[in-house]
Amino acid sequence: MYTEPRVRVVGRARRGHSNWEGGALLRLGGGSIERSASVPFLLAPGVYLARHVRRNQSGAGWSFQASWSHATYKGFPTSLGNANPIHPHNDRLALGAGWYQ
């Protein structure tokens, strides 16, 4: 399970108008590993850019988004024969499109 709060840094439009926006994001997540007492945790700061194309005054229209984050995973069980915990890292690029009414 995860959440990804975003903070808009640039961009704002009047109601019903198209706009660009960009800002910071922080993905936080937690999970479970079957047959293990470990609870893995994800911490991934990043940035996003979005283009909202409004079609009418109510704000309906397309939204195109791109985001990048650098994830650190913690809470994995120790590796075989090693007393040190595993802390893998990865980068994530996500692209998306959506229709809002």
| pLDDT tens digit sequence for 10-21 | 988 777 788 999
Which residues constitute the domain of residue 67?
2-100
And the tokens for 47? 């940035």
21-80 pLDDT per residue, tens? 999 999 999 887 777 777 788 899 999 999 999 888 777 899 999 999 999 888 766 655
How many structural domains is the chain composed of?
A: 1
pLDDT attached to residue 66: 97
* Cβ(66)–Cβ(74) below 8 Å: no
pLDDT score at 101:
79
Residue 55 amino acid letter:
R
pTM: predicted TM-score of the whole model, two decimal places? 0.76
